[in-house]
Structure 1
Amino acid sequence: MDNRMERAQRLHEQGYNCAQAVVCAYCDLFATDEETAYKMAEGFGLGMGLMDTCGALTGAYMLAGLKGSAGLEAPGKTKAATYGINRELAKAFKEQNGTYICRELKGVGDGNVRRSCQGCIEDACRLVEKLLVE
């Protein structure tokens, strides 16, 4: 895991947003190419561009979909299970950080920075490893 987490950190330092860094660090394990993963995740950084749900966490959500979806062969058949994994990811992330809202994590409004982007990427990678890879 450390290599993937380190790769996600390096990708973020190179300009990938938080969601792209998480998705691209794992895309090979979830049968998708990095170019597609990068493009797919672009709108999810900075809390989906709105400082809403943390981009690193939404990257983990995307990986949950890649892992759990039956795809076009069975439309709608697997989405409930994927939503369940997303709830687990969100719950665990919130337990660690007190929130999964980007603006709250960054201390916008109250000045209390709860977690850096690098820390959020680290937390998302740990959750991916625990809930999606292991």
Structure 2
Amino acid sequence: MKIPDKKTAKSAAERKEYAISKFPSDYNCAQSVLRAFAGDFGAEEDEIVKIASGFGSGIATGQICGAVTGAVMAIGLYTSEISDRTEKKNKTYGLVRDFLKRFEEKNGSTDCKTLLGYTVTNPEIVKCLPEDMQPKIACRPFVESAVLILSDILDEDKKGNRKVIKNNNLKV
């Protein structure tokens, strides 16, 4: 499947469908979220898949959710064209804070283990779980949520309608 490019810019719902089209059969949560946005910024799917390969399953530790890290990497691509380093850093951090705040408000946490209620990296635990609690099913709502939230944030930012979050008390 071709990464959506600027010519085929997608709605949030289309991005969500694209993100889950190969999750979890071919790609992890981070890869799935990042690839839904990568084409807008001229990134190649092969490179995206390589870059995000270690970020699934809470960076392979059950810590920060891979869908969250995929979205944060997409934000980095979004702000990559800003030439002034200070401006780029401020813009990136503001978007990341906004994303983290919204993701946490919707899902209760940004931590993989907290979101799932178990450590996804422990195969002994995972194999004993019922089908609906397996990561391939249980993580899907977080992939979808990350894509929809980031789509909203980027749309707001492009239109100049986003409130800038300079500091907050996230539990991340």
TM-score of the superposition, structure 1-length normalised?
0.86
- Out of 62-71 and 13-22, give the one that drifted further: 62-71
Question: Does residue 79 of structure 1 match 2:89?
Answer: yes
Where do 4+ consecutive residues of structure 1 move more than 3 Å?
Answer: 73-77
Which is higher, the Rg of structure 1 or of structure 2? 2
Work out the number of aligned pairs and report it. 130
Are 2:116 and 1:106 aligned? yes
Structure 1 position 121 matched with structure 2 position 143? yes
Aligned-partner Cα distance in 2 for 1:14–1:3: 19
Q: CA RMSD in A?
A: 2.1
Q: Which residue of 2 aligns with 1:49?
A: 60
8 Å contact kept, 2:19–2:35: yes
Letter aligned with residue 13 of structure 1:
P
Alignment of 1:49-68 (within 5 A): 49-68=60-79
Secondary structure at the residue paired with 1:82?
A: helix
- Secondary structure of 2:26's aligned partner: coil
**Which structure 2 residue ranges, 5 or more long, are not aligned?**
1-11, 120-132, 157-172
Structure 2-normalised TM-score? 0.68
Q: CA–CA distance in 1 between the matches of 2:75 and 2:24? A: 24
Q: Distance in 1 between matches of 2:36 and 2:140?
A: 14
Residue 30 of structure 2 contacts residue 70 of structure 2 at CA under 8 Å; is this kept in 1?
yes
Give 1:61's aligned amino acid: V
Does residue 1:23 correspond to 2:34, yes or no? Answer: yes
User: For residue 7 of structure 2, what is the aligned residue in structure 1?
Assistant: none
Name the structure with the higher helix share: 1
Structure 1, gaps ≥5 residues long: none
Identity among equivalent positions (%) equals: 36
How far apart, in 1, do the equivalents of 2:110 and 2:38 lie?
A: 23
